[in-house]
Amino acid sequence: MWGLAVLAVLAAIAGLALYLAIQRNGPAVLDAVDRLTGGDRKVTLHERASIGEFARQRLAVYGPEDRRSGDLPRPVILFVHGGSWASGDPDDYGFVARALVPEGFLVVLAGYRLYPESSFPEMIEDTARAVRWTRENIARLGGDPDRIVLAGHSAGAYNVAMVALDRQWLGREGQSADELAGVIGLSGPYDFYPFTNQSARNSFGSASRPADTQPISFVRGDAPPLLLIHGEEDTTVKPRNSRELARRIVEARGVASLHTFAGMDHNRPLLALASPWRSDPQIFGLVVEFARSSTASVPVQGETR
């Protein structure tokens, strides 16, 4: 009896220690836990690429290790990391690829310049560059350039929302935001002006037109479909951001699916993509279902060219 009680206490302490480590060190710890508990899931790195002259302007493409030349092109999820536009590394997000590649996708993990190296709008420009690279190169890696879903967590959710809603960023790259299949935002900031925290002031405080930094300013009814997921206990990015963006998209007769979860904080939606947490299909299932339905409704490459 005492032995079982001690084991239970030790397990609880280990779980708490792990949770605190994730809170402090974030994605790198999460990636390690995912590898230990879930393995590689037959997912492998297909290619790394530079999309600019700076070290952080880079991306990595992941797919199945048993890729064959006759396989049909896979839909693509391009994921952008968070970190308050001041930290983060796409190499720490391999768990996203290991979650989604076995579900039938290719996954692109994209980086971008960070503060103090850069500020608005350079993080958006880099995400738009990643989209262009993906459209131009993903076919030779087994992906379908006409079936791309953008996804991101926190600051990364902001990046992908801006690229999808404000047509100018992809337009500058010779691309069209209207060709995106969908957007997935996890715990994203979309309506945060005036800038009340230091990270927002650092990255956006010098903008000459602050309203133009906000995704909410570019709501349009013909935007790509959005899936917005947020924890009700998120104190880093208030869930009001997702609620307001979804409300305005729907009012404009666009498509936005909002899901908020009681008891969840800022990072819990991201944890849902990693082992062992993705065994709970609540959030992971939403992401996969949305990505599948969005890409299923887009014509295949041969029918659009």
- d(CA 200, CA 85) in angstroms, rounded, equals 8
- For the chain, the straight-line distance linking the first and the last C-alpha, in angstroms and rounded, comes to 69
Predicted local confidence at residue 297, as pLDDT: 56
Give strand pairing partners of 150.
Answer: 78, 183
Q: Please say if the pLDDT value at position 12 is more than 60.
A: no
Rounded CA separation 125/120 (Å): 9
Computed on alpha carbons and rounded to an integer, the radius of gyration of the chain in Å comes to 19
pLDDT at 302 over 70: no
Tokens coding 184: 């997935």
In CATH, the number for domain 41-300 is: 3.40.50.1820
Q: Which of 293, 286, 292 is nearest to 105 (CA)?
A: 292
Given a contact cutoff of 8 angstroms between Cβ atoms, the answer to whether 248 and 254 are in contact is: no
Select the more confidently predicted residue: 305 or 14. 14
Look at the block and give the residue holding tokens 């297909």: 46
User: Which pair of structure tokens corresponds to residue 221?
Assistant: 């009814």
Tokens of 125: 């420009």
Domain-wise residue ranges, the chain:
41-300
Distance CA 260, CA 230 (A): 5
- Distance between CA atoms of 252 and 148, rounded to whole angstroms? 23
Summarize pLDDT for 197-241 with one digit per residue, the tens: 999 999 999 999 999 999 999 999 999 999 999 999 999 999 999
pTM over 0.85? The answer is yes
Check whether 55 has a pLDDT greater than 70. yes
CB 284 within 8 A of CB 271: no
Distance CA 137, CA 76 (A): 12
Note the helical H segments in 87-186.
94-100, 122-137, 155-165, 168-171
Residue with tokens 């002031």: 201
Amino acid, single-letter form, for residue 183: V
- Choose between 101 and 6: higher pLDDT: 101
- Spatial CA neighbour of 161 closest among 233, 236, 106, 82: 82
